[in-house]
Amino acid sequence: MQSFIPHLILTKLMGRLAGSKNRIIKSLLIKCFIWLYRPNLEEALISDIKQFPTYNSFFTRKLKKETRPIESSKLSIVSPVDGKIVDHGLVENNMLIQAKKHSYSVEELVGEKVTNKNSVKQYFITIYLAPTDYHRIHCPYEGYISSTCHMGKSLFSVNEKAQDNIPNLYIKNERTVMKVENSLFSYFLVSVGASIVGSVVPFWSDFRSKFRKDYIDEWNKGPEEGKKQALRGQELAHFKMGSTVILLFNDSSKLDLHSLTTNKTVKFGSKLINLKNL
């Protein structure tokens, strides 16, 4: 059925509604969302729904700093988002796993061929963001943003049924790719779009109203040099609606992976995994 749904048209329509400043439309969308999903507005920096100019501004609401303290240990890599770990594992033969029965290539996912010396294997972690989750994406570990790009064209759903039934789902869907490097290791942060996801907005974008093409151009251009050094916990982007984040680490030998379990709920700022004390 996914193939017959006009995802791009539906997303464009919903994007206009979500960005509408009409008080009736905005209030109706926000109240419907609250009724359906019961979000915890006590965590939000702004909890009065009347203060949000659009549904989008409500959906991408910021949190109070005290609700998501950033793990301070030098060895900790923190979760970049709120969500659920749906897949994780070693990359075998340059292939990642999607929903246990589909595989897709590293090169197709991130847009570059990654070669590791001494047969060191990569490791991936896939985190799904439900509609109720906080939808801003943060830096899991400090480093230099060496590249960014936008890829893909489709906007299929990324829920569990779609993961089971659509091969190469994460390759087909629109996504942004950010590579971060530091003196210890490097990783890719991939933000995958989905049905009704208007755009993935980078942190270096200004606050003007923009079209999808403008965000694509910004991702392909990347941040200016003075903004390429990212700190752990720093906001890197936000989804205009919900989706999926994939972390791909280039050297699994440096990671302590004992804390990872499938279907584990994670919160931004808390420890995702540790670096080994090398």
**Cβ-proximal residues to 13 (8 Å cutoff; 6+ apart), any chain:** none
- Does residue 209 have an active-site annotation? no
Specify the amino acid at residue 220.
N
Q: Residue 224's CB: how many other CB atoms inside 10 A?
A: 8
- Mean pLDDT in the chain? 86
Which one from 79, 157, 195, 243 is the annotated catalytic residue? 243
Which one from 7, 88, 135, 138 is the annotated catalytic residue? 138
pLDDT at residue 2, as a whole number: 44
CA distances from 29 to 89, 92, 240 (A): 38, 44, 14
pLDDT tens digits along 77-106: 999 999 999 999 999 888 887 766 678 889
| Residue 276 pLDDT greater than 80, yes or no | yes
C-alpha torsion angle, residues 39, 33, 28, 58 (rounded to 10): 50
Q: Which of 16, 39, 49 is nearest to 198 (CA)?
A: 16
Which one from 7, 76, 79, 82 is the annotated catalytic residue? 82
| pTM confidence score | 0.88
- Does residue 243 have an active-site annotation? yes
pLDDT tens digits along 167-188: 777 888 889 999 999 999 999 9
Sequence ranges of the domains in the chain: 71-275
**Cβ-proximal residues to 135 (8 Å cutoff; 6+ apart), any chain:** 59, 60, 81, 129, 238, 239, 240, 241, 242
CA gap 75, 81 in Å, rounded = 18
Give the distance, in angstroms, between the CA of residue 202 and the centroid of all CA atoms in the same chain. 11
CA distances from 176 to 76, 152, 170, 216, 220 (A): 24, 9, 11, 9, 9
- Does residue 138 have an active-site annotation? yes
pLDDT tens digits along 115-137: 666 678 899 999 999 888 899 99
